[in-house]
Structure 1
Amino acid sequence: MSDTVLYENALYTKARRGLLCKAFVVRMVTNPLIIHFAKNAGFELVWVEMEHSTYSTSEACVLTSAAMMAGITPIVRVPYECGMGYVQRVLDSGAMGVVFPHIVTAADAEAAVQMCKFPPRGRRSLWLQQAAAGLRTSMPMQTMADDVNATASAVGVMIEAVDSIPNVDAIAAVDGVDMLVVGCMDLSADMGAPGMTNRPEFRAALEAVSAACRRHNKIFGLAGSYKDLNFLDWVINTLGVRMVLGYVDSNLLSAGAGESIKVLSSIDRTALSVPDLGSKHDSIRVSVAPL
């Protein structure tokens, strides 16, 4: 972390150095207090989901800013083909990393880097008041740009199509790409077997991504698998995944609601004590005189 950038980016300080970073995904809750639950639980990252949500950039800003100040690194997955203007707003307002979905070629990856980096590496418009720098303006502009490029604008690319796999080495070789994230749901679906992470062709694809990340010193990330502990053990401890999505706020709410009903239903005996009025009501007939 530099003197310019005030907040830790765990993708660089932990994941790239070999430690597993666990991300809490928010896609529905907008109240920034949810960040405290992620912090208390021990997550290192907050993944603000804008591809599969209705978040506005203002709502994302509230969440990313809260994450920075809570000491959790905020990264944002932007919508597919959202454009440079959208990416710039997300970064200017607090994201310390941006994840781009559906990357298939090295040219796609290069375009993602161009959107995230200030010149000379990229084409991002220069704005001195950066959230990661505490909105300060008391620094040389080039110093700010260099430091934000280096530590506060990580680039992640999603590998979630069969056509991406032959290109993963070239994608990982792109200067400025920090992380390749396999989207388990989309990749397995594109292989014709949604959610079937044990199929040999799916496993071979992950091995190819792992080899590319090791060869080019990039972070290997995983999204879309939360409960298969054997699979997670394999990708983390054998393939070298160092960024993994832990769970999603909406999934946790859904699971919690279901568990609550299950508990209450297990002691509910009220239906046994209410008389069956069905036969009585069934016998009631209404006669209408003809006009």
Structure 2
Amino acid sequence: MNNRVLGKGSWISIGAPIVTEIVAKFGFDWLLFDMEHGGINESNLLANMHAAKNSGVKIIVRIGEYSASLIAHVLDVGVDGIMVPHVESVSEAERIVKAMNFPPNGFRGLSTSTRCFTYGLDASQKPENMSQPLFLAQIESYEGVCNAESIASVEGVDMLFVGPRDLSFELSMRHNLPTIEFDDALKRVALAARRSGKQAGILIRDSAKIVQLENYGYTALALGSDMGALKAGLKNIVKNL
């Protein structure tokens, strides 16, 4: 698989390294560490990365909002990419890309003593030789859908990733305002990504929808979450008692 292409993944919400280690054993191509709504935070991020390190899985971190300092800190720890929620415009996407990259392509501060540079122990590692981190721009609003094609065209955006719960809720709440049907929004985002040669991704809670979403053009599929799997397993145990 292309190093910049993501396939099947899953959501890490609990933040317990043992749980992350177990999930990482199931052959996912990537894991999303959720710092927006989940139990992952700056203090336990590295421990969870250590838990997944022997699986070869890519680590993507979703931060809660745009913060240049947080973006730099997360990337310094050595994650493979970041997801930013509620991206709605070209200017927002460009600002995030610049925060992710060192000069001349951005304004990220440089310290070669960080983990992504092996703490400065490998003199051969130079900023200009570092691979550009992945950027997943999350589309979760009417404005984001309307601007999906222009957002996808921004150099440095690797994927348009739909947040299905936020997007469906926001679209349903646009009383007396222009809106779009949720299913049409999904198709529009996937088409926008494809036209720019980028991936479209989405979180799936119902496996029966996988084929439909793949037909729309979604190639990066997050299949549930650690918390969802735990709840489903416990419900099944209790049901069978």
The answer to whether residue 220 in structure 2 is matched with residue 235 in structure 1 is: no
Instruction: Give 1:148's aligned residue.
Output: 130
Aligned counterparts of 2:172 and 2:111: Cα–Cα separation in 1: 45
Instruction: Give 1:46's aligned residue.
Output: 31
Larger Rg: 1
Offset of residue 51 of structure 1: 0.3
Aligned counterparts of 1:122 and 1:216: Cα–Cα separation in 2: 22
Instruction: Give 1:13's aligned residue.
Output: 3
Q: Structure 1 residue runs of 4+, over 4 Å off?
A: none
**Counterpart amino acid of 2:152?**
A
**Counterpart amino acid of 1:128?**
T
Aligned counterparts of 1:13 and 1:86: Cα–Cα separation in 2: 24
Alpha-carbon contact 2:152-2:198 (below 8 Å) kept = yes
Aligned counterparts of 2:136 and 2:162: Cα–Cα separation in 1: 10
Alignment partner for residue 145 of structure 2, among 151, 165, 175? 165
Instruction: Give 2:13's aligned residue.
Output: 27
Aligned counterparts of 1:116 and 1:22: Cα–Cα separation in 2: 24
The answer to whether residue 45 in structure 2 is matched with residue 60 in structure 1 is: yes
Aligned counterparts of 1:129 and 1:208: Cα–Cα separation in 2: 43
* TM-score, normalization by structure 1: 0.74
Alpha-carbon contact 1:118-1:124 (below 8 Å) kept = yes
Aligned counterparts of 1:64 and 1:182: Cα–Cα separation in 2: 24
**Counterpart amino acid of 1:148?**
M
Unaligned runs of 5+ in 2: 174-179
Unaligned runs of 5+ in 1: 1-9, 194-199, 265-291
**Counterpart amino acid of 2:32?**
W
Q: How does 1:134-213 map to 2 (within 5 A)?
A: 134-139=118-123, 144-150=126-132, 153-192=133-172, 201-213=181-193
Change (3 A) 1:132 1:180: same
Alpha-carbon contact 2:32-2:59 (below 8 Å) kept = yes
Name the SS for the 2:167 alignment partner: helix
CA RMSD of aligned residues (A): 2.1
Name which of structure 1's ranges 104-113 and 48-57 shifts more when overlaid on structure 2. Answer: 48-57
Aligned counterparts of 1:46 and 1:228: Cα–Cα separation in 2: 18
Instruction: Give 1:226's aligned residue.
Output: 205
Size of the aligned set, in residue pairs, is: 235
Aligned counterparts of 2:94 and 2:146: Cα–Cα separation in 1: 17
Instruction: Give 1:262's aligned residue.
Output: 239
Identity in percent: 27
**Counterpart amino acid of 2:145?**
I
**Counterpart amino acid of 1:251?**
G
Aligned counterparts of 1:171 and 1:117: Cα–Cα separation in 2: 18
Aligned counterparts of 2:53 and 2:92: Cα–Cα separation in 1: 28
